[in-house]
Amino acid sequence: MIDSAAVAAALSLPARQRDTAALAALDPSALPPAQQVDLLTILEEQCRWLAAARLRAVAALGSSDRSELGLAQESVSLALQVSPRTAQRLLAEASTVREELPATLIALAGGTISEGHARVVAEGLWKLPDRPGIADALEKAVLAPIVQDGDTYTVPQFRQLVRRAVLALDPGTAEQRHARAVADRCVAIYSDDDGMAWLGAYLPAPDAQLLHTQLTAAAARIPASDERGLDQRRADLFVAAMLAGLPEDGQPVKRGRRPSIQVTVAADTLLGLDDAPAHLTGYGPITAETARRLAADESGTWRRLLTDPDTGALLDVSRDRYRPAARLRAFVAARDDRCAFPTCNQPGYRCEYDHIQPFAAGGRTTRSNGALACRRHNQAKAQTGWSYRQGRDGSFRWQSSTGHRYRGGGAPWALRMVARSRPASGPAEPSPS
């Protein structure tokens, strides 16, 4: 019962006095069910205590940043392996909680609430006007049920509580906030497994409800003999309606190209000699059969990129009317797929051709000295102490102003391609640089 005694002892101590390493070394399977629950509770409290410490560290990094671009965002992004946008939000949340929500920080460090709960309080405060006492009033309204009364709230349940408190504290500006939210309406895509993705629209609630209702009504009118389920019918109707409502001659041109999909596929795969995965730009790996089916589509909505079946190196971009300068950028865009910064997911068409060795310092406008960088990360290496170079494998090596080094970026389809052996009749050739 040594493990049980350790759990009982840990329960009586605040998180800051517990031996985290000793707790992690405990064998949960050796404990009775009741103490397994106790151990789970203790470990969660430790995670929340560490989350509070991490929040203070992020806030300190943000407050010490003196760079013109605010490059603490990039430091947080790389250190935590999160996107720059997530890092930006973490910096804002950390600053808000540390500077304006002391009771929330105490509750987090004490294990009473999670980092998700603390985030919701910060988001609620951002919606309120900047006036004396407003943060304290919000904390008293939303933390009391948990801290004082001991009620249990999941993060979604807690978000509803915070929403009600925000409306009660400032009902007069609710319509103004709604107008600002309407201005943020957008459509976004999120990759999922098995060759699927989520396409989501952030819309005013009445519009979203109306669209869903009409899709449901249209799906219900399809004859019962149709074997598709209601969700499948709605999804197919959504795609058909969207494509029918977007005339090709009305599509905008971006950097000389109309919207299209881009598929990277090995020549052997396209010919049906193997079934190596292909790569759909903006999504990731797709099956060989999906790539071949897209290749057979005569609608012209996809762009073929041929790669060497043994090395994964890009061989060519399908030729069209592009001038040489445009073809150089097209090649780099096809090769690198996205921004060269390791944690940035800006797609290639939103990026700029960037000279890895600056043009002013003698860098040439070539494939080997070219990369794609979004506007921010193009500027991030200009007189900031940040720099990067490209390795032989296509990845990028960045060094921050603090001397920390990170590796990433480059073409995900090339870096992760499974190597295949050449026939024994000849030696392997080096991959193109």
List, for residues 221-276, the tens digit of each pLDDT value.
899 899 999 899 999 999 888 878 765 554 444 444 444 566 777 777 777 777 77
Record the pTM.
0.68
How far apart, in whole angstroms, are the C-alpha atoms of residue 267 and residue 306? Answer: 6
pLDDT tens-digit profile of 328-370? 777 787 777 788 898 888 877 788 888 888 877 778 887 778 8
What mean pLDDT, rounded, does the chain reach?
Answer: 79
Q: Are strands 197-202 and 352-355 parallel, antiparallel or unpaired?
A: unpaired
Alpha-carbon dihedral angle through residues 430, 315, 262, 296, given to the nearest 10 degrees: -120
For the four alpha carbons of 293, 298, 302 and 303, in that order, the dihedral sign comes to positive
pLDDT, one tens digit per residue, over 111-134 is 999 999 999 999 999 989 888 999
Contacts of 239 (CB under 8 A, 6+ apart): none
Rounded to whole angstroms, what are the CA distances from 278 to 73, 269, 331, 354, 418? 33, 8, 17, 27, 12
Total H helices, total E strands in the chain: 17, 12
Q: How far apart are CA 150 and CA 112, in angstroms?
A: 9
The per-residue pLDDT for 308 is 58
| Identity of the residue numbered 354 | D
What is the per-residue pLDDT across 39-59, written as a single tens digit (0 to 9) for each?
A: 888 899 999 999 999 999 999
Distance CA 195, CA 409 (A): 22
pLDDT tens per residue across span 60-71: 999 999 888 889
% of the chain at pLDDT higher than 90: 26
Question: Would you state the pLDDT for residue 429?
Answer: 40
